[in-house]
Structure 1
Amino acid sequence: MLNNNLYRIISFSNEGGKLEVGFELNTHHPIFEGHFPGQPVLPGVCMIQIFKELIEKASNQKLFLTDAGSCKFLSMVDPRQSPKLIYTIDYNLNEGNCKANGVLKNETAVFLKLNNCNFRVQP
């Protein structure tokens, strides 16, 4: 789990399957030393893991990502320039499955758009 390690939640709103979560990156996390030395970038896989963790927190379910219909990385997240981020997520739980869409952004830029992501609820 990356929460309280790579990032920490600073605001959390969950209303009827609509999330808006503000979070702050740990700019001193060791992942940024290797990805990339001298030019830190939040890895795409971490962006997707954070997306999953936020839906798990909102739904109180353990999820497994089975497929992502569309995953568009629009800009790199430099933690030195953009330590505070916002995820807006729409999700729907139905019969052991979850479908979700999300946007990772800050006040001025959009970094990632995820559409038609399917999760299986884990026992």
Structure 2
Amino acid sequence: MILKDFYEVSHTKKNEDLQLTTLKVNKDHEIYNGHFPGRPVTPGVVLMQLFKEEAERVFESPLQLVRADNVKFMAVFDPTDHDELILESQLEQNGDFIKLKGIAKNNKGIVLKINSLYKGL
């Protein structure tokens, strides 16, 4: 976990090729002191990192981002509004590479859509 104490996995469920992971985000994490005071917003790069960490957890291996395509930030994730974030990940391994197609959503709808490629280290 790149950001210590930023989140904890509260639930994981796997359906065929879809991994559903519910994260409880720490609304009091220090990252929100600067991004932004009085109106916490989870940085987009942090949302992208959550998918990488989820793939690392599933495959039990450190990964490096090779490419991110079609990254679309659809809404702001404010943890004081609702501290749960659901990651829907379709993961496919091909040799040393892992393809991920993901959607992050909260109680209001989709926050992020991402297609990414990782390489095992």
TM-score by length of 2: 0.93
Q: Aligned with 2:10: secondary structure?
A: strand
Q: Which runs of 5+ in 1 are unaligned?
A: none
Aligned partners of 2:37 and 2:107: how far apart in 1? 26
- Partner-residue secondary structure (3-state), 2:42: coil
Distance in 2, matches of 1:22 and 1:4, equals: 18
* Partner in structure 2 of residue 34 of structure 1: 34
Give the match for residue 84 of structure 2. 84
Is contact 1:14–1:58 with CA below 8 Å preserved after alignment? no
Pair 1:4–1:31, CA change in 2 (3 A): closer
Matches within 5 A, 1:9-88: 9-88=9-88
* Number of residue pairs matched by the alignment: 121
Aligned: 1:118 with 2:117: yes
For residues 15 and 3 of structure 1, the distance between their equivalents in structure 2, rounded to whole angstroms, comes to: 28
One-letter identity of the residue aligned with 2:87: Y
Q: Report the RMSD for the aligned CA atoms in angstroms.
A: 1.4
Contact 2:82 2:107 in 1 (8 A): no
Residue 40 of structure 1 aligns to a residue whose secondary structure is: coil
Seq. identity, % = 31
Deviation at 1:59? 1.2
